[in-house]
Each structure stands twice: as C-alpha cells, then as structure tokens.
C-alpha cells in the first residue's frame, strides 16, 4: 500500500484587527494588530470536536507537516502528522501556528511596526509563553473551535501545551507535553543567556537595528551551535562523530579539524538563513520566564478533567526526565488523569523530533482514547 | 592547634636555553627557548624520592598553594597542599608549573617571540598535552629529580598525569588522574569549539594580533561563561541560584535579570583580567587533540608498575564518570595496580576544586602507601 501523505500545504495568516486590536501582554505592554501564521491538516468535524493544536519549539514554525508548493522538505513533525499517523488527519483536524515573537509569519521583532513603518527591532515588547498561547487562543476562537481535543508539543511546544491547561482549562480536553518542564531551571536560563550574549556581542547586531544591513550572522550562528550541543546527547555525538577528522591527519588549525566542528559550523550557518536574531533573543527570554511551578499549572481547588500524556527521553540532558517526573508528580497531587512514559532514546533532546515509532504508539493510543471518551461532545 | 599553612610563596621561572634550546613539538614545529613558571612547596629529601608534581586545569597556573606577597587569595589547590594536608608538605616536595601555551609565566602565545621582538600571537605553534608534559619533564630534570613519587591533577591536569604515565613511565611511581578522560569526546570538542568561536568572532581579536589594543574581552568572557555552565551541575546551579531574580520583579530586559545570568557575566568579566584569549584558543586545542585511547596509555607488552588512583565525581557531566571508568577498565586489562573512587558530589566538574574532605582521605592514604612502598629508592 502506498503511503499517503498530506501533500501540498500552504501557510495562512490571520490578523486580529477588530477592536480591541491589541493583545495586552503579561508584561503590561500592548501589541497589535497581531498576525498569526498557521497551517491546518485534515478536516474539522461538524461538532468541531476533533481539533488538535500542535505547538512548536524555539526554532520551529507553523509548517508542521506536508510540503510547500515547489519545495521538497516536509514540515518539522511530518512523520507524526498525516493519514494513519500519530496525529491522524483522517480523524483529526490538526492546527499549527507560529508563535508571536517568532519570525516565520507571526508578529515578531522583524515585523513592521505599523506606527513607525519600520521593523519593531528592540521596540518589540517582551513576550511570554502565556502571551504566545493567548495569541493561539485568538486563532482557535477565529476558527470557531470551542474546545480543543488536544494540545501537543515538545520542548517550548510542551510549555505552550502546559500553558493551555493553566490558562484555558475549559478550552482543552487533553495535553501532551513532551521533553519539557514546569519551569526553566538556572542551567536552562544560563544556556539561553550565553546564546543571547553571542548575539548581543556581535557588532553586526547594532543594538537590534540590523534589518537594513543584514543579520548578526556570527553571533546567531554561535548561539545555534551552543544550542545544537544541548540538543544532542554525549552518546549520540559519539555515535555520529566520535573523533573523526575532516581530513586524514591533524591539520593544527583553528578551522574545523574534527567532523563535529564542521557539523556545528554548518548548522550555525544554515540557521542564520532562516531565523531572525532578535526573535532568538525574545523567544529565549520567553523560555526563561516560563514558570508554572508552585501550583500555577492547576491552582488548588480548581477541578481539572484534562487528560495528560507526559513524555520524556532518557538521554535528554537539556530537559531531563526529572523535570517531566516533576510535572507528573504535581498532576498526581491534583488527582489528574496522567500517563507518563520515558522513552529509552540516545538522541538527547532532539529525540522528540526523531523517536517517531515510540511517539506514534503513545500518542495515537492516547488521542484515540481521549476522542472516544469525548465523542459527540461539542 | 593553629592550622599551619604554607605561607608566602613565589613563582620562579626557568628558561631552557642550553643547546638544543628548542622543544620539538608533536606537530613537528619547534618552540624555544622555553620558559617554565613553577612553584615548589616543602623540601626535597636527600634521595629526591618525595617529589610530587601537581598539574593544573585549563585556566590554572603554577600558583597551587600558599599566598603571593601582598595578596590574600591563596593558590588554586590550597586546601589540598600544605603541612598535614593531602599533599603533605611535611613529607613531600610539591611542584606545580604553568603549562606551555598558557599565559601565567610559561611560554605561550602572549610571550615575546625572540625572533621578532613581538608577541607570538598566532605564530605560536600548536601544542599538545604531550608537549606540555615534555616541558614539565625538562623542569623535573632541571630540579635533578630522577623519579616523581606522583603526578596528580584534575581535568586537563588529569590528562597531563596520564600523559606522564604514557610518555615517561620510568620517571613516575604513581599517578592520580581526577575528573578526566583518556580522550576528548566529540561533546567535549564541541564545547571547546564554541568557546573558541566566541573568541574568533570578536572583532577585537584582530586575527590574534590584539596585544597592542587590549583583549577581545566579550569573546573571551563569553567563552568563559560557556565554560562555567559546564563546570557546574544542574543541581548545584539549582541550589546556588534557582530562579532567583536580581531585583524583586521581572524587569523585561536583556540585561541580567536572573542571578545566574549576573553570576555568569561576573565570572566572564573577571576572567578576561587574568587570562589571554590566544592561550584559551591554544590550550583548548591541546585538550581536543588529547587521545590516549587504543592502548596508547600503556602500549601492549610494556610492563607497568605505576600505581593509579582514579577519581571522578557523580554529577560531573563535562568529564563524566564513565570516562574515568574507561581509564580503570583499560588499566585492569594491563594488570596495573589501580584504585577507583567515584565521589558522590553535586558540584559537577568543579568538584575537584571543592570536595576536599573526600579527596584528602583518598589522596593522603594513596600517597602514604606509595611512599612507604618505595621508601629508600632513589
């Protein structure tokens, strides 16, 4: 049987310009009008009960599955979204939107500020995961969906999923936080901060006003290189590179000598072609502000009938399993229906973008059960 | 009883200018004349059988113990070196020297190249851990010591200790490699490389010729910030900083908001006042070239009567315990006398500079036994 895919998809955009055409952010600042870039896969059923929101990580975008016209590379979660896949588009209506603060179609620091006609740059207000989710809720309202069947995502996507449960508990039936945390730890903040410092230290950053001149390429590439080290595990790096050299012998040079150095350089260089440096600053800040600990995920006394599937990966040292177990332990104190699985992967944090077989088994079953238990409910 | 310390010490320098006044490096290049900065504590006994060489880590120097005249801060391993301490200066003659390639008195890229009258900068040849140890051996020869009782060090110091066993097995009775590895892994190379990239990307680096202009401060500080994250553990960062803010509320700023950010900034800024950026490049390269795996530590068929004490720390993720266990496993295949201890510390890689009680117990006993078994031997 031929494998069916989603095929050609298009990113759509919606701008919330009706009064009040501003989002009041957690910082107290206002942002508006807000545009949200999104894609959808599958069909919304009559009762609008089959909608699943998929949320992306730091450098992700709305293009989660299918291919754009004329391109070959599919969306970032292609193996999980489509007919017969984990997020089965024969059954579910899957939505993915770019976060605000990002640079892939939703309003962010590289967008034109309508008040000045120039890019926001550092006049862009600080945003939080809560603000990202508030913009997503406007999109879900716009699509006429009362209650999402599920919100699912890995890493920063997992934070958004948790934030949905915290901020809009009546609007979501289930949540799948993957390789994520209830709060950014000091180590995670520190790793964000060195990435930001790499950008801020690049003279080409020009205080954020580089749009007429080109990106602070070296700083942004360096931030990405640091990131990539944290996305892989010690073991996956050993398996992929070991101490292999780019040429036969040591060259005694500060140019890349080891394959792992060349790989990092390559990943850094290709990142600057698709990601805005100021977005990197703002979005990593949103990660660092994230903190739903201390009961904020489900305030005491609030009943919660959201079902949770929490997934972590054994070799993930950026968002270690203990952080997922902390989520689970908290949910159990609130007597919430929660399933937890630690997948025995060597891929490190990247595993949420690679361990498709295990993820498919867990997610497909969990969504089925959730859908069956809520079938017919609007 | 008053605690006795070493008191005031002085760094001495020796320049090897006698013919051939050059060191032939592993790269094939020559370096000379070579100056080595060193300190000694305690007294060499008549048979010169009580000499212990202590080897320093990436940013260390010859000043391992005691205080310099007019200063308050003692040497970097002060709690382990002195009368009645682990390296008991009532019994042992302790030597510590700055590595070549460094910037604390031994010949390095910031030294004046006698051929040009200007700092070497990038005309400095690439060096290896083997070259560092070759220079140390010249110092030991100069001091008239035939056989070291012990070579001990942590991190890069541990690599030098292993290198002594590999390169000069007849010149050392015992070796204490702490928090180290037989070979730099791709993750370790990657972390070195992003630090180097931070320096190379700083325009103030000027291709290495910055000595008339001042250091590439932001790049070097950033490299150090990255380093510091790897020296601590997730847990020690949580205990020290958690999510504490520098002021009461979020400031929504790219200036340090979290205490951990301020700490990293501070550690980066103070590092640039004492360390040379080009040395950082050269010494991290030496780390990356280090590879005594595949039998190079003790070639097959070579008898080895060196005693080993291998120490690692449970929460050290930069030089994880499995790397120490690999050293031990290899030594056992060579039927070598080896003791291994994993210390249950939460301090991460920094533990070798902090877990003094445990280290003292292990090292004092090991040295005693080694000394007793060799007493009277020249």
CA angle in degrees (0–180, nearest 5) for A254-A200-B227:
50
Whole-number Å distance between alpha carbons of A52 and A172: 9
Residue A2 main-chain phi, psi, to 5 deg: -65, 140
Contact A234 B198 (CB under 8 A): no
Whole-number Å distance between alpha carbons of A77 and A219: 28
Contact A201 B202 (CB under 8 A): yes
CA distance B265 to chain A (A): 9
Q: What is the pLDDT of residue B377?
A: 64
At B338, which CATH number?
Answer: 3.40.50.1820
In the three-class reduction of DSSP (H, G, I as helix; E, B as strand; rest coil), residue A94 is classed as strand
**Neighboring chain A residues of B246 at a CB cutoff of 8 Å:** none
> Does any domain span residue B69?
yes
> Does any domain span residue A3?
no
Residue to mutate among A252, A266, A271, with most B CBs inside 10 A, is A252
Q: Note whether B198 and B222 are within 8 A (CB).
A: yes
Both B50 and B169 in a single domain? yes
Residues of B carrying an active site annotation: 155, 316, 349
Q: Which of B133, B69, B49 shows the shortest CA–CA distance to B99?
A: B133
Closest partner residue to B237 among A187, A219, A317, by Cβ? A187
On the question of pLDDT at B101 being above 50, the answer is yes
Both A138 and A263 in a single domain? no
Distances (CA, A) of A292 to A25, A234, A277, A331: 17, 29, 27, 12
> Does any domain span residue A212?
yes
Closest chain B residue to the Cα of A197, Cα to Cα = B222
Q: What is the pLDDT of residue B19?
A: 87
Both B143 and B101 in a single domain? yes
On the question of pLDDT at B236 being above 70, the answer is yes
Give residue for tokens 């754009």: A68
Instruction: Give the relative orientation of helices A129-142 and A156-167 as an angle to the nearest 10 degrees.
Output: 70
Contact B261 A285 (CB under 8 A): no
**Neighboring chain A residues of B200 at a CB cutoff of 8 Å:** 254
DSSP-derived pairing of the beta strands A118-119 and A12-16? unpaired
Both A132 and A248 in a single domain? no
First to last CA, chain A: 35
Both A351 and A323 in a single domain? yes
On the question of pLDDT at A2 being above 60, the answer is no
Number of domains in chain A: 2
**Neighboring chain A residues of B201 at a CB cutoff of 8 Å:** 198, 201-202, 218-219, 222
Which of A251, A286, A321 marks a domain boundary? A286
Contact A285 B260 (CB under 8 A): no
> Based on the number of CB atoms within 10 Å of its own CB, is A225 exposed (0-12), middle (13-18) or buried (19 or more)?
buried
Q: What is the pLDDT of residue B18?
A: 87
Which of B253, B269, B286 marks a domain boundary? B286
Contact B252 A126 (CB under 8 A): yes
Contact B201 A202 (CB under 8 A): yes
> Based on the number of CB atoms within 10 Å of its own CB, is A174 exposed (0-12), middle (13-18) or buried (19 or more)?
buried
> Does any domain span residue B1?
no
> Does any domain span residue B3?
no
DSSP-derived pairing of the beta strands A30-31 and A8-9? unpaired
Give residue for tokens 């560092």: B132
Q: Output the furthest CA–CA distance in chain B (Å, rounded).
A: 68
- Look up residue B73 and give its two tokens: 């801060």
Q: For B134, how many CA atoms within 13 A lie in the half-sphere containing its CB?
A: 16
On the question of pLDDT at A78 being above 80, the answer is yes
CB atoms within 10 A of CB A323: 23
On the question of pLDDT at A1 being above 50, the answer is no
Q: The domain containing residue A149 runs over which residues? A: 8-182+290-374
Contact B264 A190 (CB under 8 A): yes
At A248, which CATH number?
Answer: 1.10.1740.110
Contact B197 A317 (CB under 8 A): no
CB atoms within 10 A of CB B3: 8
- The alpha carbons of chain A give a radius of gyration, in whole angstroms, of 21
The DSSP result for A187-222, as a single string, is HHHHHHHHHHHHHHT-GGGGGG--TTT---HHHHHH
Instruction: Give the relative orientation of helices A217-231 and B186-200 as an angle to the nearest 10 degrees.
Output: 170
**Neighboring chain B residues of A29 at a CB cutoff of 8 Å:** 252
Q: Note whether A313 and A355 are within 8 A (CB).
A: yes
Q: Note whether A322 and A189 are within 8 A (CB).
A: no
Q: Note whether A315 and B322 are within 8 A (CB).
A: no
On the question of pLDDT at B1 being above 50, the answer is no
For this structure, is A305 an active site residue? no
Both A142 and A201 in a single domain? no
Q: Is B155 left (phi over 0), alpha (psi -120 to 50) or beta?
A: left
Q: Tens digit of pLDDT for each residue in A144-160? A: 999 999 999 999 999 99
Whole-number Å distance between alpha carbons of B14 and A94: 72
What are the CB-based long-range contacts (under 8 Å, 24+) for A208-213?
A: A208/A109, A208/A121, A208/A122, A208/A278, A208/A281, A209/A121, A209/A122, A210/A121, A210/A277, A211/A110, A211/A118, A211/A119, A211/A121
On the question of pLDDT at B152 being above 60, the answer is yes
Residue to mutate among A30, A182, A188, A190, with most B CBs inside 10 A, is A190
Would you place residue A19 in the very low, low, confident or very high pLDDT band (cuts 50, 70, 90)?
Answer: confident
> Does any domain span residue B2?
no
> Does any domain span residue A1?
no
Both B16 and B158 in a single domain? yes
Q: Output the furthest CA–CA distance in chain A (Å, rounded).
A: 68
CA A136 from centroid of its chain's CA atoms: 13
Q: Tens digit of pLDDT for each residue in B164-203? A: 999 999 999 999 999 999 999 999 999 999 999 999 999 9
Mean pLDDT of chain A: 96
Q: Note whether A14 and A97 are within 8 A (CB).
A: no
Both B266 and B137 in a single domain? no
Among B27-41, B213-227, B362-376, the least confident range: B362-376
> Does any domain span residue A239?
yes
CA distance B317 to chain A (A): 9
Would you place residue A249 in the very low, low, confident or very high pLDDT band (cuts 50, 70, 90)?
Answer: confident
Which residues face B343 on adjacent strands? B313
- Look up residue A71 and give its two tokens: 């391109």
Both B150 and B23 in a single domain? yes
Both A141 and A281 in a single domain? no
Closest chain A residue to the Cα of B225, Cα to Cα = A194
Which of B235, B263, B286 marks a domain boundary? B286
Both B20 and B99 in a single domain? yes
Q: Exactly one of A155, A192, A236, A279 is catalytic; which is it?
A: A155
Closest chain A residue to the Cα of B240, Cα to Cα = A186
- How much is the pTM? 0.97
Both B282 and B223 in a single domain? yes
Q: What is the pLDDT of residue B374?
A: 78
- Look up residue A126 and give its two tokens: 């600080």
Question: How many Cβ pairs within 8 Å bridge chains A and B?
Answer: 141
């Amino acid at each position: 049987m031929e494998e069916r895919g989603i095929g050609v998809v298009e990113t759509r955009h919606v701008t919330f310009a009706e009064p009040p055409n501003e989002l009041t952010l957690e910082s107290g600042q206002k942002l508006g009008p807000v545009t949200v870039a999104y894609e959808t896969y599958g069909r919304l059923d009559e009762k609008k009960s089959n909608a699943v929101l998929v949320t992306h990580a730091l450098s992700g975008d709305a293009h989660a599955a299918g291919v754009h016209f004329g391109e070959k590379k599919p969306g970032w979660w292609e193996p999980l979204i489509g007919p017969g896949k984990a997020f089965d588009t024969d059954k579910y209506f899957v939505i993915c939107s770019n976060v605000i603060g990002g640079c892939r179609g939703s309003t962010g620091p590289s967008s034109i500020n309508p008040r000045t006609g120039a890019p926001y740059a550092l006049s862009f207000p600080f945003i939080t995961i809560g603000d990202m989710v508030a913009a997503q809720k406007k999109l879900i309202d716009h699509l006429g969906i009362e209650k999402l069947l599920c919100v699912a995502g890995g890493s920063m996507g997992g934070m958004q999923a948790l934030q949905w449960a915290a901020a809009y508990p009546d609007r979501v039936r289930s949540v799948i936080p993957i390789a994520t945390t209830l709060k950014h730890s000091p180590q995670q903040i520190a790793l964000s901060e060195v990435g930001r410092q790499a950008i801020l230290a690049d003279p080409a950053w020009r205080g954020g006003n580089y749009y007429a001149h080109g990106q602070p390429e070296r700083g942004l590439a360096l931030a990405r290189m640091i990131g990539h080290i944290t996305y892989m595990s010690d073991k996956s790096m050993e398996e992929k590179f070991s101490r292999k050299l780019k040429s036969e012998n040591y060259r005694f040079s500060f140019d890349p000598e080891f394959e792992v150095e060349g790989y990092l350089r390559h990943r850094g260089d290709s990142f600057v072609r698709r990601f805005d440096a100021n977005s990197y600053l703002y979005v990593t800040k949103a990660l660092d502000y994230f903190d739903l600990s201390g009961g904020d995920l489900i305030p005491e006394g609030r009943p919660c009938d959201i079902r949770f599937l929490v997934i972590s990966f054994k070799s993930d040292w950026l968002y270690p399993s203990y952080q997922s177990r902390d989520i689970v332990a908290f949910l159990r104190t609130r007597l919430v229906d929660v399933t937890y699985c630690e997948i025995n992967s060597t891929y490190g944090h990247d595993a949420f973008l690679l361990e498709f077989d295990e993820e498919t088994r867990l997610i497909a079953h969990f969504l089925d059960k959730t859908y069956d238990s809520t079938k017919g409910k609007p």
